[in-house]
């Protein structure tokens, strides 16, 4: 429960900090009093101590630049299909420009041949088990065991005496669960 409350509190703090940052984004005032803003008339030349200004590129701009090999700001059909041609060339093992079924299924047939230990062109159950896809296993979750809450019906020992509410005027109250006599007390 405390972890949940701590998570909620940290989420609220982070969202509050984000709101403060968002509302102060457009202001020209420095957030720290020790920082002085540069004068408005100052030249924007990069001095020897200042880093060059980096330009912000979007994901699509980066993708466009990967395809535009000659950097003429235009993507031709050849440039667009270049990655497909490279993949096709890897599969076209005999280099005839045609992709046959054997070339397309080369990886699968190699896997079959590797698994066929006796060379019989047939996989037994044991040989087929070697072709199993190896998946990454998830790390086990290390959580402490949770304590079970015992309800009155599940208790094995006799329950404690019930606590009466402050507004009750009854001298003796019956518990909400069946009571058993305690050993050595003489009560029934």
> 73: buried, middle or exposed (CB in 10 Å: 19+, 13-18, 0-12)?
exposed
Query: Residue 82 has which token pair?
Result: 């270049």
Q: Give yes or no for a contact between 67 and 80, defined as CB atoms under 8 angstroms apart.
A: yes
Structure confidence by residue, pLDDT tens digits, 59-84 = 888 888 888 889 898 888 888 888 88
Residue 10 phi/psi, 5-degree rounding, is -70, -35
Per DSSP, helices labelled H in the chain are 2-23, 59-67, 77-91, 101-104, 106-115, 125-129
Q: pTM for this structure? A: 0.31
Structure confidence by residue, pLDDT tens digits, 119-170 = 898 888 888 888 888 888 888 877 777 766 666 555 555 555 556 555 545 5
Q: Give yes or no for a contact between 119 and 142, defined as CB atoms under 8 angstroms apart.
A: no
Delimit the domains of the chain by residue range.
58-91, 99-131
Structure confidence by residue, pLDDT tens digits, 14-63 = 898 888 777 776 666 655 555 565 655 555 555 566 777 767 778 888 88
Q: Is the Cα torsion angle 140, 143, 144, 150 positive or negative in sign?
A: negative
């Amino acid at each position: 429960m405390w972890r949940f409350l701590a998570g909620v509190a940290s989420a609220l703090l982070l969202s509050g900090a984000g709101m403060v940052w968002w509302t102060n984004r457009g202001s020209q005032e420095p957030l720290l009093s020790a920082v002085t803003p540069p004068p408005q008339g100052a030249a924007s030349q990069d001095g020897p101590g200042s880093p060059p200004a980096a330009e912000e590129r979007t994901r699509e701009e980066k993708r466009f630049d990967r395809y535009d090999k000659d950097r003429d700001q235009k993507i031709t059909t050849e440039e667009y299909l270049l990655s497909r041609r490279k993949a096709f060339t890897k599969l076209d093992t005999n280099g005839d420009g045609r992709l046959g079924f054997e070339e397309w299924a080369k990886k699968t047939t190699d896997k079959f041949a590797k698994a066929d230990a006796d060379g019989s062109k047939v996989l037994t159950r044991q040989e087929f088990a070697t072709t199993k896809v190896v998946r990454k296993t998830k790390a086990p979750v290390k959580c402490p065991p949770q304590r079970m809450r015992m309800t009155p019906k599940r208790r094995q020992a006799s329950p404690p005496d019930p606590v009466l509410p402050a507004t009750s005027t009854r001298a003796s109250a019956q518990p909400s669960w069946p009571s058993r006599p305690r050993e050595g007390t003489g009560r029934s």
